Amino acid sequence: MALNTAANRTVDLTLRALQLILAIITMGTDGHAIHVFHGHTVHEHFEFGDFYNYYGVPDAWGFLMFCAAWTVLGVIFLLIAGIRFADHVLLGYVRVGVEAVALLSWLAGFVAVAVNIGSNACPAEENGCGTLKAATVFGALEWLLFVVTTTMTVKLVFGRARHPRR
């Protein structure tokens, strides 16, 4: 059974709502992990002098926050473009592009944060990394939702027959 977003708006709106909800949850859990994280300074001694290096929040955690913010904006665009301008061919390609960028950024985001779990940034024995683990799980679920919606959007845009304009 092929799932078509034009034929079943309820499924599309439900998936978009789930994407928004998971993006907000990911923002909250990742934001809490960033807030709770305590950076540390490391004193390194070299033959030509001493060096103090500050280790702050890993970049991957901020990238996951960017993915969540990008999703909120992207889903709003995809909802408006899907409802008001569904017949425009060029906008269909833009929709596929937005879906593909969101899909790839979520894949990169949750994998990059998952790599930090158990490392120096988030040691396995530290209890404060639970919110980061939750953010990673919600990021993976968000990626799965984008796999479904990207597939549906690609089938919708590239599956329709081309009619010449008169």
pLDDT digits (tens, 9 = 90+) for 47-79: 888 887 777 788 899 999 999 999 999 999 888
In this predicted structure, what is the pLDDT of residue 2? Answer: 46
Q: Where are the alpha helices (DSSP H) in the chain?
A: 9-36, 59-84, 89-116, 130-159
What's the pLDDT band for 5 if we cut at 50, 70, 90? Answer: very low
Mean pLDDT over residues 66-95, rounded?
84
What's the pLDDT band for 148 if we cut at 50, 70, 90? Answer: very high
Residues 68 and 26 sit within 8 Å (Cβ to Cβ) = yes
In this predicted structure, what is the pLDDT of residue 161? Answer: 56
Phi, psi of 37 (to 5 degrees): -60, 130
Alpha-carbon dihedral sign for residues 87, 92, 94, 95: positive
Whether the model clears a pTM of 0.85, i.e. scores above it, the answer is no
Three-class SS state of 53: strand
Separation between Cα atoms, residue 31 and residue 12, nearest integer Å? 28
Separation between Cα atoms, residue 135 and residue 122, nearest integer Å? 13
Separation between Cα atoms, residue 72 and residue 41, nearest integer Å? 35
